[in-house]
Amino acid sequence: MMNVFVAADNIISPLGVTTRSNVEQVLKGAGGISRRPGGGYGAVIPPGTLEPLADAAQLQAYTRFEQLLILSVKDALSRTHISLRNERTAFIVSTTKGNIALLEEGDVPTLRLHNTAERVAACLGAKNKPLVVSNACISGLLAILIGQRLIRSGQFDHAVVCGADLFTPFVLSGFQSFQAVSDEPCRPFDAARRGVTLGEGAGTVVLTNQATSLAGMVARLGEGASCNDANHISGPSRTGGELAGAIRKAVAGSGLRPADIGFVSAHGTATLYNDEMEAKAFHLAGLQQTPVNSLKGYYGHTLGAAGLIEAIVGMHAMFEGIVPATAGFQQPGTSLPLVVSGQPRQRPMEHYLKTTSGFGGCNAAMVFSKVIL
C-alpha cells in the first residue's frame, strides 16, 4: 500500500490557535470548558481570537464558521510547500452543521454545505472542487480516511483535510432535547458522568505521499475503517460489536496486533450509552489492557471537527510518548473496566488508535504511526 504522511496540521480552539499551543495546554491539563452566560457549560473560542490571524477586511466577507476553516488551512499550509492551487491537491471539508447559525436569517445558499465549502475553496484559491464530508460525529476522522484513499487511488498526491463546527443555540437545543447535556463539565468514562458538553473549533491536516518533502518525526496514516451499527437514530449499539469490527480491520490492516497500540483516543462523549458501548467495543477488539483517553473534557464535543482535532492531539502525544489524561475522570463508570486515568502517563509507543462514533450508528477507527524520515 502507498504510504500517506501528515505533512502539517493546525488546531484553532479555546485552547489556542496553533497545534503546539493546544497540545501544550492538553498535556498540562488545562481545559477550554467554561460556564456560559445564562448558565450551562461549553468550550467556546473567546471573542477577538480570530481577528489578529488575518486582515480584518478579509474576515468580514465570511461567516465565523468559514473564518475558522480558512485560518486553520492557511496556518497548516504555511508549514509546507503544498498548494491548493495544484491540481494534484484534493480539498476536503468536514462538518456536521456548517453555517447553521444563519438558520434564523433564512440565508439558504450560505446554509448549504457545498455552497459554503465552495466559498472557502475560492478564498484559498483551490484548483479542485471541494469534497464535503458530513456524516455526524465521525465526519472529521472519516475525512482523513477519505483523503488517504484519494491519494492511494492515484488521483492526487496531496489532500488538505479541514473541519469545523460552532457552539450555537440550535445545536445545544438539539442535544438538550435528548436530555444528553451535562450540567457540569463532562466527565468521560466516569461513574458520575452526566452527559456531553459541547464545544467549537477547527482542525486541518495536510496529507501527502511525497516523503522526500518531509524530515524528522512525522505521522504516517495506518489503515482505517468505518461501519454502521444500524441500531437507532441517536443511540449507539448496545454490544459494541460494530465499532469493534472497524477497530479490528484498522489494526490488522496496519499489520499490527492490539498489543502494539500505545493508547486509544476514544470518542468518549460522557453520555451513558456512548461510553458503555466503547468500553464493550475495546474489550471485543482485544484492547482491554490498552490505555484509553477522551479529550472531550478539554474541548467539549466539537462535532464535525472532533475527529480532526482529537487525531492531531493524539499524533503529537504519540510523538512525545504521553497518554493524555481524561479530564474529569475519577471513578470507573463502565460495566467492563478500561485503563483510563485522570492524570497523563508516560508510555513508549509507535502507534495509537483514534475512534469516533455518531448519530445514526456510524463508527470509524484509524491507526496512526510515528516514523522518522
- The answer to whether 296 touches 186, Cβ cutoff 8 Å, is yes
Cell of 303: 462535532
Cα distance between residue 62 and residue 164, in whole Å: 14
Cα distance between residue 194 and residue 260, in whole Å: 33
Cα distance between residue 119 and residue 112, in whole Å: 11
Nearest residue to 325 via CA among 353, 300, 296: 296
The whole-angstrom distance between residue 135's C-alpha and the CA centroid of its chain comes to 13
Query: Does the active-site annotation cover 362?
Result: no
User: Which residues, 6+ apart, have CB-to-CB distance to 55 below 8 Å?
Assistant: none
Cα distance between residue 20 and residue 8, in whole Å: 12
Angle at 189 between CA 300 and CA 21, to 5 degrees: 40
Query: Helix 272-284 to helix 241-253 angle, to the nearest 10 degrees?
Result: 50
Name the active-site residue from 137, 162, 186, 227: 137
- The answer to whether 351 touches 368, Cβ cutoff 8 Å, is yes
Name the active-site residue from 158, 267, 316, 351: 267
Angle at 216 between CA 210 and CA 221, to 5 degrees: 50
Residue 275: phi and psi, rounded to 5, are -65, -35
Cα distance between residue 180 and residue 172, in whole Å: 10
What is the maximum span of the chain, computed from C-alpha positions, in angstroms? 54
- The answer to whether 131 touches 92, Cβ cutoff 8 Å, is yes
Query: Does the active-site annotation cover 301?
Result: yes
Cell of 53: 490571524
Query: Does the active-site annotation cover 81?
Result: no
29: amino acid identity, one letter: G
Name the active-site residue from 158, 301, 316, 351: 301
* Residues assigned a catalytic role: 137, 267, 301
